[in-house]
A = this chain, B = another copy of it.
Amino acid sequence: MSEFTHFNEQGRARMVDVSDKPVTSRSALAGSSIRVPEDVYLAVTQGDIKKGDVLAVAQIAGITGAKQTSTLIPMCHPLPLSNVDISFYWKTEEAYELFIEAFVKTKGSTGVEMEALTAASAAALTVYDMCKALDKGMVIGPTYLLEKTGGKSGDYYRETHD
Residues of A at under 8 Å CB distance from B? 1, 3-19, 25, 32, 39, 43, 46-57, 59-61, 63-68, 70-88, 105-109, 113-114, 117-118, 121-122, 124-126, 128-134, 136-145, 148, 153, 156, 158, 162
A59 touches B68 (CB 8 A): no
Nearest B-chain residue to A30, judged by Cβ: B140
B contact residues around A15 at 8 Å (CB): 63, 66, 81, 83-85
Contacts A17-B82, A81-B77; A51 near B56 (Cβ below 8 A): yes
Q: How far is the CB of A20 from chain B (nearest CB, A)?
A: 9
B contact residues around A39 at 8 Å (CB): 3
Give CA–CA (A155, B116) in the complex, Å: 34
Contact residues of A: prevailing secondary structure: mixed
B12 touches A86 (CB 8 A): yes
A50 touches B11 (CB 8 A): yes
Interface hub of A9, A50, A121 (most chain B Cβ within 10 A): A121
A56 touches B56 (CB 8 A): yes
- Contact among B51, B83, B122, B148 for A48, CB-based, below 8 A: B51
Give CA–CA (A77, B47) in the complex, Å: 23
B contact residues around A52 at 8 Å (CB): 7-8, 10-13, 55-56, 59
- Contact among B53, B125, B131, B142 for A117, CB-based, below 8 A: B125
Q: How far is the CB of A43 from chain B (nearest CB, A)?
A: 5
